[in-house]
Structure 1
Amino acid sequence: MFELTAEEQLRTATDDDSVLVWAAQGFTGGARAWARGRAVAVASPALSGRDRIAVRGPVEDLLPLLDELLAFVGPSYRPFGDAGLLAELCARREGLELSGRFGWMQRTAAGLSPLDGVGAVGVGTVGTGAFAGRAAGEGVGGQGRAVAHWLAPGELDEAAELIDRHFPASHAHPHRPGVRAWAGVRDEAGRLTAVAADAWPAPAVGLLAGVVSDPVHGRGRGHAAAACRLVLDGILGRSPCAALMVDAWNEPAIGLYRRLGLEHRTLDAAAQR
C-alpha cells in the first residue's frame, strides 16, 4: 500500500467521494489515508466519537489493504462504507462482522434557497471565539415561524441539558470537543427547544450533527428544521458539500433531511470480533 498525503490526491483517488474526504479531516488530527490498486482507506481517530476507517474500491484490492491497515492502527478502528461493499468484506474476511447500518446524507451549495415549511434563520456569523446569540424569547418570528440563531457561550449548558434529556447517545455535545458551532431555536416562552451542530468539519465537507428537538415544546413546529437550515447555510457558505449521518431506522429524520435537499446513501459499519 502507499500513503496519500494531500487532499487533492485523496479526492482524485476516490472520485471526490464525500465520505472519505470528510473522514480525512483535511489530514489534521492524526487522520491518514492509503491506497492499494483501486482501493482507498482513510483511518481517522476519534472521528465523530469513534476511531473509524472509511473504505471504498473493489473488494479484491480492499481486502489486503484492510488487513495491513488494521494490523497497523489496531482493533479499535471500525471500517465503514457503502452497504454492499461492507457486506462483501465481512463475508470474505474472517473476524470482521457488520455492526450497524446508517444513512449518509449530503447536498451541495448548488440550488440552495429558502424552503417552504422549514423555518427561517436568524442572522449570525460563525467564526472563532464567541458566536452572536439571540435573546431569550426571540425564537419565533412572524406568523409563528421558527427562527434559528447561533448559540452564545452562555447558552451551551442549556443545550447540553436538552441533549442529555432527549438524545444522550449524541456524539456531538457542547461539553465535548469536535463541534465548531451550535444553532438553536427558542419558543415564545424563551425555552431552548431545538439545537443542531456544525461538527467535525473537513475543508471540502462539513457535517451537520447533534440534531435534537424537545418532544413537547419543539417537535412538529419546524424548530429542528430551522436549526438544521442555519447550520447547512453556514457549512455551504464555506464548503462545497454538507453532509450528516442518520440512523437507518429514523424515517422521520430522514424525511426532514430530504426536505432540506439532502440525498441519501446507505452505509454499513463493521467491527472485529
Structure 2
Amino acid sequence: MRGMRALHSPDAVADATPDLLPRWAAQALLPGHPGPGGAAWEHGGAVGVLAPGLNRRERLVLAGPAEGVAAILRDQARAHGPELNPLVPDDLVDAVTALVPDVVAWAGFGWMESTGPLPSAPGVRWLREDELDTAEALLRKVNPNAYVVPREPGSRRWAGSHVDGELVAVGADAWSAPHVGFVAGVATHPDFRRRGLSKALCSFVVHALLAEHPACALMVEGDNTAAIAAYRGLGFALRGLTILLPAEIAAARPPRRR
C-alpha cells in the first residue's frame, strides 16, 4: 500500500511510536521468537505489529491515529483473512470500526503498564531449575488456565516466595521485549493469601524488569478489580484493549477475555 513502511526491528518500532503495546509486540521481529512470521508497519503515524504466538495468541497489535490503524488493518485482513485477531486500545474502537465497518468489537481485557521506579522486596528470589516443577504444580493448582507455565517458550525466569520452606507464591518474567518487560503467571497458594506475598513477589519481578527495560507491563482480566487495584498500588496504569473480528465470526464465537 502506498505510504506503508515496513519496520524490521524492535528499535524501528520504538522509533515509530511511543506506545508500549506495539513496542511489546515487536519482540515478534526477533530471531527465535516462538511464533515465526512476525512483521511490523507504520502508516500515517500508526503502527501495526503482526505477532504470531505472542502470549499464546496470534496477534495483530495496532496503535496510533485511527486512519492509519484502519489502513494497516484493511491491508492485513486482505493478506491473512478471518483468522486475524486485531487488538486495539479501547479509545480507538469506535473510530476504527467506523472506518472498517465489517469488523466489530468482540472481547476485551486490561493492559497495565509502568515506567517505575519500584523498589524490590525482601523474601523473594529467582527460582532454580530444580524448583520449576514445584512452581508449575502450584500454578496449575491455583490457576489451571494459566497463560504461561515454566519451561514453555516465552517463559524466561520465575520468582518465588517461600514460607517455612514451602513455595507459596510464584510469578514470571515471560514474553518480555527489548523495550518492555512483561510480568505473567502470578499465583499465590489459597492458604497464604492476604499476607502481601503477591505484592512482594510482583515488586521483586517488576523491580528486576525495570532495571533491564525502559518499561514494564502485564495483562489482567478487565473485571478483576482486586488485581487491578493491587497493580495500581505498584504504580501501574490501566488501559483497556479490544479484539476486533468480522461480524459473522464474532457472532459464532463465545467471547473470551484475552
Same fold (TM over 0.5): yes
Letter of the 1:236 partner, please give it.
Answer: L
* Correspondence 1:172 to 2:151: no
- Residues 37-74 of structure 1: per-residue CA shift (max 9 Å, x gap): 22221110100010101111232332232111122244
Q: Distance in 1 between matches of 2:94 and 2:161?
A: 40
Letter of the 2:128 partner, please give it.
Answer: A
- 2:252 corresponds to: none
Q: Distance in 1 between matches of 2:38 and 2:91?
A: 25
Of 159, 168, 185, the match for 2:135:
159
User: Contact (CA 8 Å) 1:42, 1:53: kept in 2 or not?
Assistant: yes
Offset of residue 92 of structure 1:
4.4
Letter of the 1:198 partner, please give it.
Answer: D
User: Contact (CA 8 Å) 2:60, 2:87: kept in 1 or not?
Assistant: yes
- 2:11 corresponds to: 8
Higher relative helix content: 2
Of 144, 156, 168, the match for 1:193:
168
* Correspondence 1:224 to 2:201: no
Q: Distance in 2 between matches of 1:212 and 1:249?
A: 17
What are structure 2's unaligned runs of at least 5 residues? 250-258
Offset of residue 95 of structure 1:
4.1
Of 50, 55, 61, the match for 1:54:
61
Offset of residue 10 of structure 1:
1.8
Of 43, 49, 59, the match for 1:36:
43
Q: Distance in 2 between matches of 1:206 and 1:77?
A: 25
* Correspondence 1:112 to 2:115: no
Q: Distance in 1 between matches of 2:103 and 2:69?
A: 13
> How high is the sequence identity, in percent, across the aligned residues?
37
- Residues 3-56 of structure 1: per-residue CA shift (max 9 Å, x gap): 112333322322x21111000117212421112222221110100010101111
Q: Distance in 1 between matches of 2:144 and 2:97?
A: 30
CA RMSD of aligned residues (A): 1.9
* Correspondence 1:22 to 2:28: no
- 1:215 corresponds to: 190
Q: 1:87 to 1:214 in 2, by over 3 A?
A: farther
Q: Distance in 1 between matches of 2:28 and 2:172?
A: 19
Q: 1:68 to 1:105 in 2, by over 3 A?
A: same
- 1:247 corresponds to: 221
Q: Distance in 2 between matches of 1:58 and 1:267?
A: 15
Q: Distance in 1 between matches of 2:97 and 2:144?
A: 30
Q: 1:50 to 1:58 in 2, by over 3 A?
A: same
Offset of residue 88 of structure 1:
3.3
Secondary structure, aligned partner of 2:83: coil
Q: Distance in 1 between matches of 2:205 and 2:241?
A: 23
User: Contact (CA 8 Å) 1:54, 1:79: kept in 2 or not?
Assistant: yes
Offset of residue 148 of structure 1:
1.1
What are structure 1's unaligned runs of at least 5 residues? 115-119, 122-146
User: Contact (CA 8 Å) 2:45, 2:68: kept in 1 or not?
Assistant: yes
Secondary structure, aligned partner of 1:12: helix
- Residues 186-215 of structure 1: per-residue CA shift (max 9 Å, x gap): 122x32211111011111101001111112
Q: Distance in 2 between matches of 1:93 and 1:225?
A: 41
Letter of the 1:206 partner, please give it.
Answer: G
Offset of residue 112 of structure 1:
2.8
